[in-house]
Amino acid sequence: MALARNVLLVEGTSDSGVITNLWKRHYPEDQPFEIDVRFGLSNVREAFTGFLVGSEVQRLGVVVDADESLETRWPGFYQALVVRGYRPVPKKLPGDGLVLHRPERSVSTVGVWVMPDNQDPGRLEDFVRDLVPVGDRLWEHAGTVVDQIPDDLRRFRAIHRTKAHVYTWLAWQNEPGLRLGPAVERRLLDSDAPHAVGFVSWLRRLFVEGPVTHPDDVVGSR
């Protein structure tokens, strides 16, 4: 039952697969958190706010995509935290992910990670892109092929170019068409890449480690 009291909210099953397998690659022991797939940003926000209002959850995290702009993602979670008394809250999302330890609140530890890196626009596939082994020639070739698609045949939007690149590369592996989670499990993606290590470190701070000291550039501290 204790594991169910630590909850990580995510938008989709791909997020869940990547996170589960990254954790297993670094820490083969039991996963100290439950992943709750909510199928969409609005559902994640609603669940996040609901848990903060009152629940038996001790530690709560959320992972969402920045998509076109981080500025359209962070404020909603920031406001929910401020309204529920999680003060002070950083004005800007930290590059290594947010972790707030507030033992006096209904949920004692709360964390937020916005894909890919808490700083730039993008999504899960942009995070995964940085887990492709350095110097992988097939990756470079897949990118060239994607970019050479004639405009009149290109059916994906420009903002989804990285997604097209990632899934083209996966389609050309020994086991074509793997999903992102199994690609981590089978070591096609490097779980020791800096971005992966940074993300797993955030998970540990959120679900395993103790209180965290935060910078002073905050608002809502009164």
Span 81-114, pLDDT tens digits: 999 988 889 989 999 999 999 888 888 899 999 9
Q: Which residues contact 104 (CB under 8 A, 6 or more apart)?
A: none
Residue 143 confidence (pLDDT) above 90: yes
Residue 211's pLDDT is 59
Residues 10, 98: Cα–Cα separation, whole Å: 15
Residue 105's pLDDT is 86
User: Domains of the chain, with CATH numbers?
Assistant: 2-122+193-219 (3.40.50), 125-185 (no CATH)
Residue 217's pLDDT is 36
User: Buried (b) or exposed (e) across 97-134, using 16+ Cβ within 10 A?
Assistant: bbbbbbeebbbebbbbbbbbbbeebbbbbbbbbbbbee
Residue 216 confidence (pLDDT) above 70: no
Span 3-34, pLDDT tens digits: 448 999 999 999 999 999 999 999 998 899 99
> Which uninterrupted H or E stretch holds 110?
strand 109-115
Residue 118 confidence (pLDDT) above 90: yes
pTM greater than 0.75: yes
Residues 121, 132: Cα–Cα separation, whole Å: 19
| Average pLDDT, integer, range 142-155 | 93
Residue 140's pLDDT is 95
Six-digit token string for 68: 């076109």
SS3 112: strand
Indicate the pLDDT class of residue 190, thresholds 50, 70 and 90. very high
Distance from the Cα of residue 79 to its chain's centroid: 19
| Average pLDDT, integer, range 173-182 | 93
Among 84, 19, 97, 17, smallest CA distance to 49 is for 84
